[in-house]
Amino acid sequence: MKRTIELKHVGPKQHVQTLLDGLIGRLEEKLSHFPSDAVSLHVVFEENGTHKLFRTALTCHVPGHTVAAHEEGRNAGASIRAAFAEVQRQLEKQKASLRHERLRRRLSHARQAAGGEKGGEASNDHATSDD
């Protein structure tokens, strides 16, 4: 995976770099089924010292799709983790759509609903007979 990491206006960089490396490693494991040269990740982490805010922006390019997340907060680690969690959620959603999982779920719910309507009518008959 191609990585680009930008740290802007960040004071002690070591803990931020360590956290980013760990989260990028986890993301690489999840994206290991793609060719390594087909996936790229761009991370921008910046600190606004005046307002004590941290901004994290991630852009991940995979074949046929691009996902992005932007998080801002007063805690550097929380901002970074939230952005990575959002990118992973979007990638899972994309993977599910490629596998047509939504369509499968919809069909299974339709089958259950068709079977459940008959049971619902029978329970209504019993309810009226009790009156």
Please give the Cα distance from 94 to 126 (Å, whole number). Answer: 45
Q: What is the mean pLDDT of residues 47-70?
A: 92
Please give the Cα distance from 122 to 61 (Å, whole number). Answer: 53
The CATH fold assigned to 2-98 is Double Stranded RNA Binding Domain (3.30.160)
- Between the alpha carbon of residue 35 and those of residues 21, 40, 41, the distances in Å are 20, 11, 14
Exposed e or buried b per residue across 25-44, where buried means at least 16 C-beta atoms within 10 angstroms of its C-beta: eebeeebeeeeeeebebebb
74-101 pLDDT, tens digit each = 999 999 999 999 999 999 988 888 777 7
CA neighbor of 2 nearest in space, from 38, 56, 32:
38
Average pLDDT, the chain: 84
Q: Where are the domains of the chain?
A: 2-98
Report DSSP letters for 15-82, one per residue: HHHHHHHHHHHHHHHHTTTS-GGG-EEEEEEEEETTTTEEEEEEEEEETTEEEEEEEEES-HHHHHHH
pTM of this prediction?
0.73
Band (pLDDT 50/70/90 cuts) for residue 119 is very low
Tell me if 40 sits within 8 A of 24, measured CB to CB: no
